[in-house]
Amino acid sequence: MGKTASFSCTACGAVHSKWSGRCEACGEWNTIVEEAQLSTGPASKSLGSKRGTPIQLADLATEEAPPPRTQSGIAELDRVLGGGLVPSSAILVGGDPGIGKSTLLLQAAAKFGAAGVKVFYVSGEEASAQVRLRAQRLGLGDAPVQLATATSLRDILTTLEAEKPDLVIIDSIQTMWADNVESAPGSVAQVRASAHELTTFAKRKGTSVILVGHVTKEGQIAGPRVVEHMVDTVLYFEGERGHQFRILRSVKNRFGPADEIGVFEMTGAGLAEVTNPSALFLSDRGDPAPGSVVFAGIEGTRPVLVEMQALVAPTPHSQPRRAVVGWDSARLAMILAVLEARCGIPFAGLDVYLNVAGGIKISEPAADLAVAAALLSAREDTALPQNCVLFGEISLSGALRPVAQTGNRLKEAKKLGFTSAILPSGGKSEGSGGLTLTQMSDLTGFVGEIFGAG
């Protein structure tokens, strides 16, 4: 009896019995692809065999300390990993083409190798001479890193079994192919099978594995979403081609805080660490201008000060434009609605443009107050004081709600020379010595106090 075909959605992983243009589970179009069925072995009487005998958690040797993390020597990378590389961990790194993933991992491999870690770098996209050429350009030609160029998963695993490295870097997972899967390299079945085999090898042998993944045009890692569920840590390498900044962001981490970021600067000699990203993001900020405010944000455990820029201009079209770079467009629509409904400030007939300077992406609700202040400043053509930071969440009723880690935000602002801060009332303000604090309870009072309207 022949095998029946199976179809799965690359966006949500749902399995379908036949192909269709739209996934009924998640609603995405053109995401259903055919994959080969895995071979089924002889049916066993019970899944609970001798090898699957459960043990009590209390019976484990509690006196055994967990294996120590390995420091890479790149402080920004160690920060994103949660303090260093955990043995037996599987890490997935995604990013746009040419953003610097291979450069960063080659630098990290050289640092790990210099620290005594046995590193195995497997490139499926470049020849060994090309990898050596990049290493020489980065000044890493003598790095103690073993290099291999292969795409056959069977050959790679056989070599790793014999070499027993401490760290394996696979560049990239989309180029790997397993000969027991009847599918082309890069397909859903191949990516899932290759990621599963490499993750299983990491857990079984105590080797850390770093997988490089391509991204789609939407910015998500290409392939089935189940790959992100298999690994322990998912990192995204972000950045704009027009900026020299690169941000390594942790979106999932079983061994550390999620949403942690590491900031790098692209130079001719590779990626350099940025120890004070706030000063770098604000370095090009000149004299106070309408529509420009400084937001004191938190990325993971790190306070980051960024400039929010807004432009409000009359529109020649019947439908005003709402353009956003670096923030959520739905959140901007909500702020505009609250300003009109609660404060009586309309934006009808006006184009609104919002930009987060430096190429960084902000996702926390604490930026609501800074965005509202930038919009009002641009609309009224009134500049806010230069040495003032803002943060706070705006509710639909127009009230200002306090946010977490207020003390860390104020300490970072004070360290960079800011003298005043506008924040919601009710928040803890430890570490604000030397700063003039203006606490507001609602958006109407903020508009009346700062802009004399509302």
Give yes or no for a contact between 55 and 43, defined as CB atoms under 8 angstroms apart: no
Amino acid at 297: G
Return d(Cα 443, Cα 345) in angstroms, integer. 11
Q: Which residue has the tokens 């004081």?
A: 385
Is position 454 annotated in a ligand binding site? no
**Is 242 part of any known ligand binding site?**
no
Biggest distance spanned by C-alpha atoms of the chain: 80
Number of Cβ within a 10 Å radius of residue 108: 22
CA dihedral 12, 14, 18, 22 (to 10 degrees): -30
300 known ligand binder? no
N-term to C-term CA, the chain: 75
- 421: exposed, middle or buried (Cβ count in 10 Å: 0-12, 13-18, 19+): buried
Three-class DSSP category at 418: coil
In which order are the strands placed within the sheet that holds 6-9? 15-16, 6-9, 32-35
What are 297's two structure tokens? 């944000």
Measure the CA–CA gap between 412 and 418, rounded to whole angstroms.
9
Using the structure block, give the residue that is written with the tokens 């360290």: 415
CA distances to 338, 355, 427 from 443, rounded to whole Å, are 9, 22, 16
Calpha distance 237→98 (Å, rounded): 11
Q: H or E segment at 405?
A: none
Distance of alpha carbon 298 from alpha carbon 186, whole angstroms? 37
Spatial CA neighbour of 211 closest among 172, 242, 164, 266: 172
Integer Cα distance of 293 and 392 in angstroms: 13
Q: Crossing angle of helices 443-451/368-380, nearest 10°?
A: 40
3-state class (DSSP) for residue 408: helix
CB 116 within 8 A of CB 166: no
- 113 in a labelled binding site: no
φ, ψ at 312 (rounded to 5°): -125, 120
Q: Is 96 annotated as a binding residue?
A: yes
Tally Cβ neighbours within 10 Å of residue 191. Answer: 30
Whether 101 has a binding-site annotation, put simply, is yes
Joined together, the tokens standing for residue 57 give: 């958690």
- Binding-site annotation, residues: 95-102
- Binding-site annotation, residues for ATP: 95-102
